[in-house]
Amino acid sequence: MRVSFRQLGHAMALAKHRNFRLAAEELHISQPALTRSVRALEEALGARLFDRLSTGVEPTPAGEIVLARGRRVLQESDDLRRALADLLGMVHGSLVISTGPFPGDAL
């Protein structure tokens, strides 16, 4: 079972909009690409995540579980990236301060 962050994000957008076309527009992908992504996620998890209705889509009970946990997974991923960016963005090394003779005498 292989699930990607991208697939989870696609499922989140679909749950938000309850509509493949609107979710695809938000994600800047084609509707068929979104459909394939959600279908692949459902196959990987072995469960139908959305009921396809004439009025749109609704998360199934399995879908609600995946969406709730997926939200946490994506949040943790964002937190991890932020923490690493903060760590790697820190300046490391020595700081050398030089002065002329007068301020140096006062120190």
Is 10 in contact with 34 (CB distance < 8 Å)? yes
The secondary structure of residue 30, as a DSSP letter, is -
Has residue 103 been placed in a domain?
Answer: no
Residue 55 near residue 24 (C-beta atoms within 8 A): no
Domain that holds residue 48: 5-89
Per the structure, the count of domains in the chain is 1
- Write the single-letter amino acid at 31: Q
Contact present, 47 and 60 (Cβ < 8 Å): yes
More confident call, 102 vs 60: 60
- The predicted structure's pLDDT at residue 16: 98
How many percent of the chain have pLDDT more than 70?
89
Work out the mean pLDDT of the chain and round it to a whole number: 91
pLDDT bracket for residue 105 (50, 70, 90): low
Check residue 55 and report its DSSP letter. Answer: T
Stated pTM of the model: 0.77
Q: 61: domain CATH number?
A: 1.10.10.10
